[in-house]
Amino acid sequence: MNPYLTVTARYIDGSVEHPDSWKLHSKVIGYTIIHGDHSGANIAAVILKVLDCYGPGEKRRGQCFEHIVHLAGKAFIEALGALKDDDKDEDEEWLDPLDLDEEEEVDEPVDFDPADLLGKVLALINQVNKAAVNKFTLLAYDSPKVLNLWKKNYSDYVICRPEWEVLDLIHEVLEEVHEAHQSFSPEPFPTVWCTIPTLECLQRQWEIMADTPKFAPVHTAIKAGLAKLQKWYLAIGQTDIYYICLGMSCGFIY
């Protein structure tokens, strides 16, 4: 079954003589098959092909607001893999008990790199996908009865409690990305109006996490995600596309 793309044009019908007298129109201008993958470049090519049939004027480039959330999450994950031992001093200084409230507890810093933890989890997933299900019926962390996978023991993939706690932190951070992403999910009306509030909410939640001692093991990664989020957030104000979309949104009453 072939995928199709529906292209809807929303435009303002008015005149120069009476700029305050205008109407908002919505019309389906294309329903075309999508050849190839669903990448942004390919989808853009399909849309441009439809628009070329109507002979539009100057082409304008804008940001995909939903993709900004993806980029922030990606930056966070990539930063987890870029953490080095020299970040340890910065984390210890940030966790100085003198900077904390007297009633706030300070957790013992973990002595492993979150990047190593993610690598362990991903390696385990790869091994599980390659192994037969019946091999896991005998699974015991250090049991010699469990067969090796390419000269590796299943005990190599055991995740200790402190590591699970870091995984929980990573999950909490990425859960905020998930919530922001859902704000742009398919709705019967355009959701462009919630772009700035959604990005600001995600930024605020991450800032709170970055200032919380609990998230010290992933503090640097959160900062990397915030930097990427702020970069593209500022790019929204550099184009008038966003404000035009607000004017054409059904979510506002004039």
CB distance 172 to 209 below 8 Å? yes
Work out the percent of the chain whose per-residue pLDDT is above 70: 57
Torsion of CA 71, 201, 196, 40, to 10 degrees: 20
Q: Does residue 251 sit within a domain?
A: no
| Residue numbers of the domain that contains 52 | 4-59
Asked whether residue 232 falls in the same domain as residue 160, the answer is yes
Length of the chain: 254
Work out the average pLDDT over 192-200: 81
Torsion of CA 17, 18, 19, 20, to 10 degrees: 170
Asked whether residue 52 falls in the same domain as residue 77, the answer is no
Beta bridge partners of 85: none
Q: Does residue 89 sit within a domain?
A: yes
Asked whether residue 42 falls in the same domain as residue 101, the answer is no
Q: Does residue 252 sit within a domain?
A: no
For position 89, what pLDDT does the model report? 39
Q: How many domains does the chain have?
A: 2
Asked whether residue 167 falls in the same domain as residue 110, the answer is yes
pLDDT digits (tens, 9 = 90+) for 67-81: 888 889 989 988 887
Asked whether residue 40 falls in the same domain as residue 156, the answer is no
More confident position, 248 or 82: 248
Asked whether residue 98 falls in the same domain as residue 51, the answer is no
Asked whether residue 206 falls in the same domain as residue 120, the answer is yes
pTM of the predicted structure, to 2 decimals: 0.56
Q: Does residue 254 sit within a domain?
A: no
CB distance 192 to 245 below 8 Å? yes
More confident position, 75 or 64: 75
Asked whether residue 85 falls in the same domain as residue 202, the answer is yes
